[in-house]
Structure 1
């Protein structure tokens, strides 16, 4: 099995991150993504990591740490987790999720959360294998 290396993302990773996001169904322009990555890198409560296999980026995870008002621990939200189609099933997603779990522990979080659209059945199976429990009812209001 090939070694998986997890490291902080940089703006220089934007082209491959754009391809990963596109594979997830989020096509994005590079200029916009460059600004988004930099904004996340500058944010104290955000972490952006990539997974490399043989020095090629094959996965990305975006994390946000959110303070809670009524409970003692913060929580960590996975906002994006994507593995290239060619690298799926090789432990890359698991390695990224395990790194997220470790960071959540280090920051005193009491849970990890992820929102995954109902059409993403493979993702649901992945999260279930990782120990996530479904928490139905997710409401969205668009801000224009």
Structure 2
């Protein structure tokens, strides 16, 4: 099992994984989005490989804080292929995320996970995550 930084050639499989996560049609813009993530200094896109096949990914954003001593790392997207769940890939990706977050001065990780994702909630709790409500969202006019 290998955890590595994503490359642009990983974009098609990331689009497939996003579809499994409930975000269909990402292939229309995935090359642009992966390139954007790879070139941004405050993001990190990691993939998990087994036998040279990408089976999962995690997308991290490092956010400096103004009022707190430590910064935080946000997990924006995280998916393990449906046929590879239970193999420990998710745990390995989270371990690498923690290492990267600590190296960048973060003292916590956060993830927003929709209430319908019950199995994901159980997984995060098993990894030591705690619920921290409330999350508010406003869609901007004219955005997709």
TM category (shorter chain) comes to over 0.9
Instruction: Render the CA deviation track for 1:98-135: whole Å, top value 9, x for unaligned.
Output: 00000011111010000000000000000001100001
Q: How far does residue 31 in structure 1 lie from its aligned partner after superposition? A: 4.2
TM-score w.r.t. length of structure 2: 0.95
Distance (whole Å) between structure 1 residues aligned to residue 13 and residue 36 of structure 2: 18
Does residue 1:82 correspond to 2:79, yes or no? Answer: yes
| Aligned 8 A contact 2:18 2:26 in 1 | no
Distance (whole Å) between structure 2 residues aligned to residue 38 and residue 123 of structure 1: 27
RMSD: 0.8
Does residue 1:33 correspond to 2:30, yes or no? Answer: yes
SS at match of 2:134: coil
TM-score w.r.t. length of structure 1: 0.95
Instruction: Could you tell me which runs of 5 or more consecutive residues in structure 2 were left unpaired when the two chains were aligned.
Output: none
Does residue 1:129 correspond to 2:126, yes or no? Answer: yes
